A = this chain, B = another copy of it.
Amino acid sequence: MVPTKDVIVGIDMGGTSLRALVVNPQNEILAVEKTPTNVAQKPDGLIRDLAALVEDVVRAAGLRKSHLRAVSIGAPGAVDPERGVVYHAPNLGWDAVPLSAKLGKLLRVPVFAENDVNVGVVGEHALGAGQGAQELVGIFVGTGIGGGIISKGQLYLGVRGAAAEVGHMIVKVDGPLCGCGNHGCIEALASRTAMERDVRAAIRAGRKSSVLKIMAERGKERMTSSIIQRALKKNDPVMRNVMKRAQYYLGILVANVVNMLDPECVVIGGGIAERLGEYYVAPVRKTAYANFLRRHDAEKVKIVSGTLGDNAGPLGAVVLARKRLRK
């Protein structure tokens, strides 16, 4: 029997790990594989790692490479999706790497690439919390804050491909310095990085907190989502305050986005939303609704946490690949 070439591998290329799923045409996940991201090597080395990961995950699904229709990758940076070039990915140390061409040559299947947040939003839209919405905005909160826009059911990229940079919308003029060099961006107020900065500042100012102790116990140098969750469970007063303020700022961002685009749905994704769910999203929603210009039918705009977790990106990459293969 000739095998049907119908599975697609979706990959999330993170700065810490590479994560690959094999997905069948029914959007069922047949296998998952993960490997650390070795960013010390040159791009070609990392691309060879990707090729090996694809072969591993296909094998883990009990399939052969001849079953593989395409590979689709979410990359952490500025991507030209038409040419599959990753232009600027500081976490990987990449600049202008022709990912699709190089990996396609190794694997001999079509390889697609898109920004990692965009594929995450496509995933939540196609298969997760935003199913059925024609107009949707996704906001992913992690070490930074990224976003994606679905308009008329399609990923909206903007004229330069620079749309949906919600993390750099300024909600506090002359506010704290952001990694981008500007001041008062939401990323500098409500990302995990901003929250860690505020927790450390409060502790330095003499406030009592167990956060650093929890980090030490778990051998973590950064305030991860799991540490935030633990500190909140222990009712840590500094963590609670910082979280409350971050939720308030994020609610203002959501209101700004809705006052601008009036979408059906805002999906809040990323590690914190995933772990804390409604505990995290409910106060964000409350602040957002209160700051809509049009409030009488505010609840027509759904504000929900993502449901696909780490799979949002790889699944969205697969969905995008299918659209591109059909063209």
Contacts and interface: CB of A to CB of B under 8 A. Distances in A.
A260 B252 CA distance: 15
A143 to B, nearest CB: 16
A112 interface: no
Given A173-B171, A291-B170, A164 B260 contact: yes
Contact of A165 (B165, B249, B260, B297): B260
Contacts of A182: 290-291
B294 A169 contact: no
Q: Which 7 A-B pairs have the closest CB atoms?
A: A158-B262, A163-B262, A168-B293, A165-B259, A162-B294, A162-B262, A165-B293
Say which size band chain A's interface belongs to: 35 or more
Quickly give the copy total for this chain.
2
Interface of A: 78, 134-135, 149, 151-152, 156-173, 175, 180, 182, 248-249, 252, 255-264, 290-294, 297, 300-301
Nearest to A135: B159
Given A160-B297, A294-B160, A252 B173 contact: yes
A263 B158 contact: yes
Contacts of A156: 151
Contacts of A173: 171-172, 175, 248-249, 252
Contacts of A164: 260, 262
A294 B165 contact: yes
A166 B259 contact: yes
Contacts of A152: 152
A252 B263 CA distance: 23
Contacts of A294: 78, 160, 162, 165
A78 B290 CA distance: 19
Nearest to A159: B264
Nearest to A137: B260
Given A158-B135, A182-B291, A301-B159, A170 B262 contact: no
Nearest to A134: B159
